[in-house]
Amino acid sequence: MPELAVVIPVRNEAENIAPLVAEIRAALGGRVSFEIVYVDDGSSDDTAARVRALQPSVPELRLVRHRESCGQSAAVRTGVKAARAPWIATLDGDGQNDPDDIPNLWALATGPDAPPRLGLVAGRRTKRQDSRAKRWASRIANGVRSRLLGDDTQDTGCGLKLFRRDDFLDLPGFDHMHRFLPALFIRRGQTVVSVPVNHRPRTRGRSNYGNLDRLLVSFGDLVGVMWLMRRGRRPEVLPEGE
């Protein structure tokens, strides 16, 4: 069984499939046993066909499909459920996250110096290669979220994250939950660590998101997560016989 599953939610990213798979294999080959789980979230292009075309020559590659688009959070959850590995690394499918950063996150999470009760290792994009408008919107959203939720995370929008499969599946699931993973792990009583990672410009395909859409949706989600944080209880379960 693989030790690490790289879960990649995608919608209409056909041009990015082959280059990203090659980079993941180069980054992880010989370091850790792994699988690559693509979740096709209702693509209208030939994303699924591109993944299938690679599978005969890439034994680590798997494909799960949504009949229709259900959003990034649903796709991530589908991929985590389908994964066989106990550890999960998530990665955006547009090629902007650098797979070479995954070994650093893996070493931190599984090494002898891993923080106690580590729940999430989150990438923090340095020198973001996005438009000025997207960086501006992200800076506002991260600042407001961090102040209200107290998750002390500068960049929850980075798709590169690493966590245990069982821990993730124990979190409350809802649409857009991927933007609030640090707060949800903290609510669970676990530690969140942010690590600087590389960020690259998109060179193929088109973004599926708009700045205004993200801001409007995030406000309603933020209110809901604030409620979850206030209502969270972490009972201490005693050993049997006590």
Q: Give, to the nearest 10 degrees, the angle between helix 102-110 and helix 17-28.
A: 40
Q: Which domain holds residue 226?
A: 4-231
Sequence-ordered alpha helix ranges (H) in the chain? 17-28, 47-54, 72-82, 102-110, 132-149, 165-169, 181-187, 211-231
Choose the weakest-confidence range: 61-65, 104-108, 147-151. 147-151
pLDDT number for residue 229: 73
Confidence of residue 202 (pLDDT cuts 50, 70, 90): confident
Question: For residue range 77-89, what is the model confidence (pLDDT) as tens digits?
Answer: 999 999 999 999 9
Report the mean per-residue pLDDT for the chain. Answer: 87
- 193 — alpha (psi -120 to 50), left (phi > 0) or beta? beta
Question: For residue range 99-142, what is the model confidence (pLDDT) as tens digits?
Answer: 999 999 999 999 999 999 999 999 998 876 555 666 655 665 66
Choose the weakest-confidence range: 60-64, 138-142, 189-193. 138-142
Q: What are the counts of helices (DSSP H) followed by strands (DSSP E) for the chain?
A: 8, 7
pLDDT number for residue 37: 98
Residue 72 lies in a domain: yes
Residue 87 lies in a domain: yes
Residue 105 lies in a domain: yes
Residue 242 lies in a domain: no
Residue 39 lies in a domain: yes
pLDDT number for residue 237: 75
Q: Which residue type is seen at 52?
A: R
Confidence of residue 143 (pLDDT cuts 50, 70, 90): low
Q: Answer whether 204's CB lies under 8 Å from 16's CB.
A: yes
Q: Give the CATH number, domain containing residue 193.
A: 3.90.550.10
| Mean predicted confidence (pLDDT) in 35-45 | 97
Residue 70 lies in a domain: yes
Q: Which of 20, 46, 48 has its CA nearest to residue 200?
A: 20
Residue 241 lies in a domain: no
What is the number of structural domains in the chain? 1
Res 188 pLDDT > 70 = yes
pLDDT number for residue 228: 74
> Tokens 């294999």 belong to which residue?
25
pLDDT number for residue 120: 97
Residue 183 lies in a domain: yes
pLDDT number for residue 12: 97
pLDDT number for residue 144: 62
Bridge partner residues of 48 (DSSP): none
